[in-house]
Homo-oligomer: A and B are copies of this chain.
Amino acid sequence: MPRKYALLDETALVAIEAQAAQILSEIGVELQEDSASLDAFRSIGARCERQRVYPDASQLRELIAQAPNRFVWHGKTDAASVEIGGSRPIIAPVFGPPKVLDKSGETHLGTLQDYRDLVRFCDQSDAMDSTGFLLCIAHGGGLAVPHMQLLKAHMELSDKPMMGTVISEVALRDIADAVGAGPDQCRLLHMVNLTPPLTYQVNPLRCLRASAELGQGTVISSYMMMGATSPVMMAGALAQGLAEILVGLALTQIYRPGAPVVGGIFATPFSMQFMGPVFGTPESHLVQLAACQLIRRLGIPVRGDGMISSSKLNDAQAGYEGAGVLGASLLGGADLILHSAGWLEAGRLVSLEKCQTDMAWIEQVLPVYSEAAV
């Protein structure tokens, strides 16, 4: 009876899709310093010039149609495993912040102790389906702690599904080996962010390939700053973002037809006042709603964002900005919600207190909104 929020009608969706197709055929997408990716596109007959591919959008859609519309993300136990693209959204925590906000209101570079605390929080919270990965950058002796020590925290402290590292292809394969990830079982979910406008850098391309070859899950996302790395208007940003992710999603299917993927299009305004992106803004809520519609039409699960904010504190601003983004993901029907809890200061800071309040809100809002967005 209730249903997903259809922000855009069919005419608008088709217009954005046509614009994305035109961008692909006329401007193309740059695949930097990775001949294997270009070779992959040549193998399907796509036009490539220098480092740029000019694919046919309908051919990409046909490739993407081979990807599953739902798949199981395995934890250490069957009981901890979850289905992405199933009956409810799957929730994962913040990814990537270098700094931690402590109880006294001071910030410090993240440590392995912080990391373990964050994994424990995610393990214990009913709101979290996953312990994610890189919950903060863990520093020891001033340097980032190697990925295998982070993995140890996930393996020791939780049975829940985890993401994987995308710091390098070697590190990605290390972790895949260590958890025994095989092609028949998606244990890891790799967050491959391209670099708008219309560019994939070499490291994400290598990680994408490794993830697909290993049969692990790959989240292909465009994270745009409207007015800086994309058009300032929403329709234009959506068209660019769609063009961008079509390339990465199709590439996974060239490497391994049927490899599990998730697509995401995110865009937030770029402030010309302080020259940076502003997170949690209402424009990004609407982009999220439209992105859910566009990606669902590809027949794959949709990635949304959670309680993200520009605020440096867990205050009212963090609350209203975060609730707006999360609400859009839920009402739009996103299947996987990343950065759900803990995120502050445009993603550079994580707070354990904010993890707790975010998780409390998610536990309240998720069942009610998900029921609405059937």
Contacts and interface: CB of A to CB of B under 8 A. Distances in A.
Interface of A: 1-3, 5-9, 11-12, 281-283, 285-286, 289, 307, 314-324, 327, 331, 354, 357, 361, 364-365, 368-369, 372
Number of copies: 2
Contacts of A323: 319-321, 323-324, 327
A364 B281 contact: yes
B6 A1 contact: no
Given A286-B372, A315-B315, 5 more contacts: A7-B372, A282-B364, A316-B316, A319-B322, A320-B322
Nearest to A235: B1
B357 A2 contact: no
A7 B11 contact: no
B1 A320 contact: no
A357 B11 contact: no
Contact of A315 (B11, B319, B322, B369): B319
A286 B368 CA distance: 8
A7 B12 contact: no
7 contacts: A1-B9, A2-B12, A3-B9, A282-B364, A315-B315, A316-B319, A317-B357
Nearest to A370: B282
A125 to B, nearest CB: 16
Contact of A324 (B5, B317, B327, B354): B327
3 nearest A-B residue pairs (beta carbon): A319-B319, A320-B323, A282-B368
Question: In this complex, which of A2, A7, A281, A282 has the most chain B Cβ atoms within 10 angstroms of its Cβ?
Answer: A282
